[in-house]
Amino acid sequence: MSAVMGTLPLLRTRIKFCGFTRGEDIDRAVALGVDALGFVMWPNSARSVDIEQLAVLSARVPAFVTRVGLFVDQDDELIERCLPYLDMLQFHGSETPDACQRFSLPWMKALRMRDEIDLAYEAERYHGAQALLLDAYRPGVPGGTGETFDWSRIPANLAKPVILAGGLSADNIADAVRQVAPYAVDVSGGIEASHGCKDAEKMASFVRHVALADAC
């Protein structure tokens, strides 16, 4: 067993595609082997879906693919109503640790990379999170900016798994994976033809470039 394990890579970069609004895009992502699919429940997003849409879309997701619901400082009652259709929660606002962990599902916390952010402190503060999602900072915008940030600001020994987000696409994802070596990467706009409508070739190219970077 140990000899076999010694010949295998210890880690591959997990992939999350976010902002699904169409069933056919879910089918394509699943066929590509994407690990997690994100559904934006924040109504101010151009990629948002309501609970009825979530129920229909999540039913297309097979076993072993994680369904993630994205929320931004939203009511507990709404989140509770979404739980039957999700496997994990992603909090993208100013939620406190207590607010994040009051639900029955595992969760991750998105952090926008402000100049003054202390990631070691935030990892300790959100110690109950399964991972920290690191995204570009733009005042007043909780995510989905399509902008990157300085990846060198991410410490190599952070106490939580890192999910890298912010302006990723097939053009830069290989460099991102090689430089940051994140646990996972998260992309939305970089695989779209328009808001909420995924592009089949962009999705396939993104997955291909992650695999190539992992192989290096």
Residues annotated as catalytic (active site), given as ranges? 18, 135
Question: How far apart (Å, rounded) are the C-alpha atoms in residues 137 and 192?
Answer: 21
Q: Is 104 exposed, middle or buried (0-12, 13-18, 19+ CB in 10 A)?
A: exposed
Q: Which residues contact 32 (CB under 8 A, 6 or more apart)?
A: 203, 204, 207
- For the residues of 111-166, what is the DSSP string, one character each? EE--TT--HHHHHHHTTT-S-EEEE--BTTB-S-------GGGS-TT-SS-EEE-S
Question: How far apart (Å, rounded) are the C-alpha atoms in residues 103 and 123?
Answer: 19
Question: How far apart (Å, rounded) are the C-alpha atoms in residues 14 and 12?
Answer: 6
